[in-house]
Structure 1
Amino acid sequence: MRVLITVKAAPNPSGTYGETVCVAGIRIDVEPTRWIRLYPINFRDLESDNTFRKYDIVSLRARPAHADPRPESYRPNISTVRTEANIPKWERRKVFVVDHVQASMCDLLANVREHPPARSLAAIRPRVVKDIDIRTHGGWNADEQAKIDRYVAQEDLFRKGPRTPLEAPRFKGWYEYLCQSTTCKGHRQGIYDWEWVALQRNLRGRGDAETKEQLRHRFFEQMCGPDRDTIFYVGNQAKHQQTFMILGAFYPKR
């Protein structure tokens, strides 16, 4: 398959793989084009020529994830990943994305309730983004930390040096917004974007107040500013299909 990568979610602890990220995008080698989820992927274990960025077009082999009821979910064969090109400009990206914008988040949730498993990945254009709520993360819970500890303790014959544990970000965040439904009472969804964690990593030496200010500036004032046509990439959880998260944003200038 050939996929335009639109989503790299933040890494999370995994009992089997140590740390995994959910990657999603638009499959462009079929008509009509459609959403696809690639999981699991351990980015720190990828070789350099298999690593890819958002809005890369990649080719790879993958098979349906039979243990996952969501039809978009596939298990990638990482050794087959090849990056063909990157699409750097919003206008060229929009050609792929615009046809996949859903009518509303309320409709998406109604479909999941009434016809599971329904669509589990979508692009949503909010009517208004009311706020972003940023709070201290608090660290991994006991179950997550146990998964990390087991992974770090395992020997890996093909890896040089010891495994390092996945660090929890300092802050977690939620968007609060109204979707296009005229009866929408509001949505509050967690931010699970790779860039949310990466920015915090880049601000490692800064204080908490400054880091929160930078997160708010980037993810609210810039990405959701009045000069931007903001679209959220959303996805749900396999075990809790009515729980959707913000996996990334598409925010070209109006």
Structure 2
Amino acid sequence: MKLPGIVLLMVFTVNQLYAQQKPSDEELKRANDPMANVKAFNIQDYIVSKLYGLPDRQINQLLVRYSQPIGPVLLRATMPFVTSSGEGEGPVSGLGDFNLFAIYTLPSSNGNKFGVGPNITIPTGTHDLGAGKWQTGLSVLAFFAQSKIVQAGSLLQWSVSFAGDDDRPDVSVLTPQVFFIWQIGAGFCIRSTGVMTFNLKTGDYNVPIGLGVGKVLKAGGVVFNLFAEPQFTVLAEGIGQPRYQTFVGFNTQF
């Protein structure tokens, strides 16, 4: 069974088990808030089925993420598990590069959130599935959640390499993400959360637009957010940029 089908089955199963528990408006907003002041464990997957210039190559990037608030600072750690396959070669699987950022949430009284903080990427990639470089940079995050119907925001990250494998190219990457959430009722939402990538060293770039559906469920004190979001590239430059991908996830907030 494909991963999007598994996600839909999980939505149906959990919904049937916990249909009597309705998330509040605040819990619906918090489920999609990247700066929510709660512990979170997320499993997310990018299924890249078509790439520019590499028609026979496919990539699967499974992200295991954990977020932990410490006062006004939110720590988020991400470990990727990557599988790459192409014509004439078997699939190669291994670790990607481990990423950690710390976002300091600025004081605000109107329900909107703004944050800024450093990030670091550790070259844990195996089989050349990572960049092979130590990287550091800056993360800037905004989340607008005054409305209980529509939430929007943006996460901007910049990373530059400062050490690592001398045989690998240096890194300077800008990754803006704009996310839009439209609550349509019964815990369902329409969502768009594509991540743009701009390689400041080579001039390559990728601009995807996503359109998917999510479902927020509650079981006891735990809030689940399940989603599937196809993403189509509208602007791209460079060999190996994703042309079409599907983003699916199972997020858990405690």
Give me the TM-score of the superposition, normalised by structure 2: 0.25
Greater helix share, structure number: 1
Give me the TM-score of the superposition, normalised by structure 1: 0.25
